[in-house]
Amino acid sequence: MKYPSIKEQCCSAQYINVTRQILPITLTLFMFLFCEDSFAEDNDSWLDNMQVGVSQSINSSANWFDDFFEQEAGTEQANASAKVRLGIVPIEEDWMRFDSKVRLRAKLPNLKDRWDIIISDYDDNQEQNAADESINDASGANDDEQLNLAIRFIHSTKDNQYISSRVGFARGTDIYFKTRYRRKFDLTTWLNMEVEPALYYYLDHGFGAKFEMDFKFAQTESGLFKQVNRWETIQDDAHPSWRHSLLYYYQLSERAALINGVFATGRLIDDQYLYDNRGLFMRYRCQAVRKWIYFEVEPFVHFPNYRAHERTFGMALRVEINFGDY
């Protein structure tokens, strides 16, 4: 009989500990989210009063700022939206890993809705998909982020193309300027491609460039495959980074969806692809309690570089609250 090695026994014990400590919370949350009666209509509870109060406050602030550019009477009101996201992302050997994100956006009608202001506590300059969020949350990449402020100008927005520029502060005091161009191509009835080149400059990090190429295919009424490819380089880093992922979006109902994904990320060193991390995840996202509250449950398995690419189990539990014009 072959007995498991000490390393295999340790990995099994860690997996059992992860499961034993997180599974009861996850099962309770799933029972709550899948319950049809968990979605309530808006009423006068403290929760609704808080949401209305914050929404009115950010809309008032947006209109106060927009009034500085008023050119004629009767201009429509400015609209603002805010998103607060709180989560706990325990992984093996790190049970107290927390994550939070705040993002506020205001459109300015007195500037023809072509300018908007974006405030966040993470680098919103890096637009993220589901795989990016999973990688960053599990690795703690957002832990050292500071307040970020940006003003964005939309040059052109059409059905198949989008051009914008933004200037702002990232990571606290680092000033940056970025311009990006996005173009969509319908290759066949079941396949389309989207390319997005971007150029930017950070005062502390120098010039940078990013190129992203996405493919969407096999779309049905309830499902969609998306394959993402990204390459990025910046002046103060000698090794460009790369990231590839395959995502499947499936809508379970009007209030719930499932995202499955596999990914790989790393750096190009001496013309070789070297891994920083790879893994897979499954995210369940549900609208519950109120129409402006979302819950997410995301089990994942990563093989990160900081753990010598050893198998690492984890679970992300998140709640997202929306305010204003969400």
pLDDT of residue 98: 83
- Give me the DSSP letters along 130-161: HHHHHHHHHHTTTTT---EEEEEEEEEE-SSE
One digit per residue, the tens of pLDDT, for the chain of length 326 reads 444 454 444 444 454 454 455 555 555 555 555 554 555 555 668 888 899 999 999 988 888 888 877 766 656 788 899 999 998 888 877 777 788 888 899 988 877 777 888 888 766 555 567 778 777 776 655 555 567 888 999 998 888 899 999 998 886 678 899 999 999 999 998 999 999 999 999 998 899 999 999 999 999 999 999 999 999 999 988 899 999 999 999 999 999 999 999 999 999 998 899 999 999 999 999 998 889 999 999 999 999 988 888 999 999 999 999 998 76
Q: Which residues of 206-233 are buried (b: 16+ CB within 10 A; e: fewer)?
A: eebebebebebeeeeeeeebbebebebb
Q: Please, are residues 320 and 294 in contact by the beta-carbon 8 Å criterion?
A: yes
Residue 2 is predicted with a pLDDT of 45
The Cα–Cα gap between 130 and 283 comes to: 9
Whether the CB-CB separation of 97 and 86 falls below 8 Å is answered with no
Domains, the chain, in order of start with CATH, read 6-324 (2.40.160.40)
Which amino acid would we find at residue 284? Y
Say what the alpha-carbon torsion angle 283, 288, 291, 295 is, to the nearest 10 degrees: -30
Residue 17 three-state SS: helix
Q: First CA to last CA across the chain, in angstroms?
A: 60
Q: H helices of the chain, where? A: 6-34, 46-66, 130-139
The overall pTM is greater than 0.75:
yes
